[in-house]
Amino acid sequence: MHRKTLTELQAGLARGDYSARELAEHFIKRIQSLDPELNSFISITAEQALAQADAADAARARGEAGPLNGLPIAHKDIFCTRGVRTSCGSRMLDNFNAPYDATVVEKLQAGGAVVLGKTNMDEFAMGSSNETSYYGPVKNPWDLTRVPGGSSGGSAAAVAARLVPAATGTDTGGSIRQPAALTGITGLKPTYGRVSRWGMIAFASSLDQAGPMATSAADCALLLSAMAGHDPRDSTCVDRPVDNYSADLDKPLTGLRIGLPKEFFPATLDGRIADSTHAALRELEKQGATLVDISLPSVDLSVPAYYVIAPAEASSNLSRFDGVRYGYRCNDPQDLEDMFKRSRSEGFGAEVKRRILVGTYALSHGYYDAYYLKAQKVRRLISDDFVRAFEQVDVIMGPTSPELAFGLGAKSDDPVTMYMADVFTIAVNLAGLPALSMPAGVIDGLPVGVQVIGNYFREGQILNVAHRFQQATDWHQQQPAFGGDA
Ligand code: GLN
d(CA 332, CA 371): 39
Residue in 43, 76, 133, 196 annotated catalytic: 76
Superfamily of domain 6-257+434-477: Amidase signature (AS) domain (3.90.1300.10)
Ligand 1 pocket test, candidate residues 76, 122, 414, most atoms within 8 A of CB: 122
Q: Are 294 and 260 in contact (CB under 8 A)?
A: yes
What pLDDT score was predicted for residue 486? Answer: 56
DSSP 369: I
- Strand stretches in 386-474, DSSP E: 395-399, 435-443, 446-454
CA of 178 from ligand 1 middle (Å) equals 9
CA of 128 from ligand 1 middle (Å) equals 6
What's the predicted TM-score (pTM) here? 0.98
Ligand 1 pocket test, candidate residues 151, 318, 412, most atoms within 8 A of CB: 151
CA of 207 from ligand 1 middle (Å) equals 10
- β-bridge partners, 452: 397, 436
Whether the CB of 126 sits within 6 Å of ligand 1: yes
* Residues 6+ positions from 474 with CB-CB distance below 8 Å: none
Whether the CB of 151 sits within 6 Å of ligand 1: yes
* Residues 6+ positions from 162 with CB-CB distance below 8 Å: 2, 3, 30, 215, 479, 483
For the CA atoms of 223, 228, 232, 238, what is the dihedral angle to 10 degrees? 170
Q: Where are the domains of the chain?
A: 6-257+434-477
Going by CA atoms, what residue is nearest to atom 10 of ligand 1?
126
CA of 345 from ligand 1 middle (Å) equals 22
CA of 422 from ligand 1 middle (Å) equals 8
Strand, coil or helix: what is 291?
strand
Q: What angle do CA 392, 397, 400 make, to 5 degrees?
A: 150
302 belongs to the catalytic site: no
Going by CA atoms, what residue is nearest to atom 4 of ligand 1?
127
Whether the CB of 183 sits within 6 Å of ligand 1: no
175 belongs to the catalytic site: yes
Q: Give the atom of ligand 1 at the shortest distance from the alpha carbon of 422.
A: 1
CA of 172 from ligand 1 middle (Å) equals 6
Q: What angle do CA 284, 288, 294 make, to 5 degrees?
A: 65
Q: Are 102 and 118 in contact (CB under 8 A)?
A: no
pLDDT along the chain (486 residues), means of 10: 95 97 98 98 98 98 96 98 98 97 98 98 98 98 98 98 98 98 98 98 98 98 98 97 96 98 96 98 98 98 97 97 94 96 98 97 93 97 98 98 97 92 97 98 98 98 98 97 80
Whether the CB of 128 sits within 6 Å of ligand 1: yes
d(CA 85, CA 108): 18
Whether the CB of 422 sits within 6 Å of ligand 1: yes
How far apart, in Å, do the first and last CA atoms of the chain sit? Answer: 11
Residue in 90, 128, 133, 175 annotated catalytic: 175
Q: How far is CA 96 from the centre of its chain?
A: 22
What pLDDT score was predicted for residue 483? Answer: 87
Whether the CB of 310 sits within 6 Å of ligand 1: yes
What pLDDT score was predicted for residue 253? Answer: 98
Q: What secondary structure does DSSP assign to 312-347, as a single string?
A: HHHHHHGGG-SSSSSS---SS-SSHHHHHHHHHHHH
Query: Cis bond leading into 345, ω under 30°?
Result: no
d(CA 186, CA 415): 26
Strand, coil or helix: what is 388?
helix
Torsion sign (Cα): 333, 336, 340, 342:
negative
Going by CA atoms, what residue is nearest to atom 5 of ligand 1?
173
Residue in 151, 225, 298, 315 annotated catalytic: 151
d(CA 341, CA 106): 35
76 belongs to the catalytic site: yes
The DSSP element (H or E) to which 52 belongs, if any, is helix 46-61
Whether the CB of 470 sits within 6 Å of ligand 1: no
B/e letters for 146-174, b = 16+ CB within 10 Å, e = fewer, are: bbbbbbbbbbbbbbbbbbbbbbbbbbbbb
Residue 456's closest CA among 379, 396, 398, 401?
Answer: 396
CA of 64 from ligand 1 middle (Å) equals 39
CA of 173 from ligand 1 middle (Å) equals 5
d(CA 364, CA 366): 6
Q: Are 61 and 107 in contact (CB under 8 A)?
A: no
Q: Give the atom of ligand 1 at the shortest distance from the alpha carbon of 172.
A: 8
Strand, coil or helix: what is 440?
strand
Number of Cβ within 10 Å of residue 257's Cβ equals 15
Number of Cβ within 10 Å of residue 87's Cβ equals 27
